[in-house]
């Protein structure tokens, strides 16, 4: 990967981000959650590649996608919590 990251097929203590197209309930996915700091959408990689550097993760975190919906999150801005 030209941004400096690399792809692994199993998470370890050195794994920082899990990039996923959806939240799954598989053994591999749930095991990875024990190691990673962030679960982000694949759009994070796509937008980072276009910008030629890693983008901030706020708009690409799955927790925000679940809470706010994809259309309610503006790129580059931390969303406000719903009331």
How far is the C-alpha of 18 from the C-alpha of 64, rounded, in Å?
15
**Residues 6 or more apart in contact with residue 75 via CB below 8 angstroms:** 47, 55, 59
Q: How much is the pTM?
A: 0.67
Give 5-12 contacts, CB < 8 A, sequence gap 24+.
Answer: 5/54, 11/35, 11/36
DSSP 8-state code for residue 10: S
Domains and CATH numbers, the chain: 17-72 (3.40.50.10190)
pLDDT digits (tens, 9 = 90+) for 19-54: 888 877 889 888 888 888 888 988 998 999 999 998
How would residue 80 be classed by pLDDT, with cut points 50, 70 and 90? Answer: low
How far is the C-alpha of 81 from the C-alpha of 26, rounded, in Å?
29
């Amino acid at each position: 990967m030209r941004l400096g990251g690399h792809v692994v097929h199993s998470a370890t203590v050195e794994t920082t981000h899990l990039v996923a197209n959806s939240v799954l309930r598989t053994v591999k996915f749930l095991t990875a959650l024990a190691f990673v700091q962030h679960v982000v959408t694949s759009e994070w990689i796509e937008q980072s590649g276009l910008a030629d550097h890693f983008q901030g993760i706020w708009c690409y975190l799955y927790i925000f996608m679940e809470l706010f919906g994809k259309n309610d999150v503006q790129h580059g801005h931390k969303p406000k919590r719903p009331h």
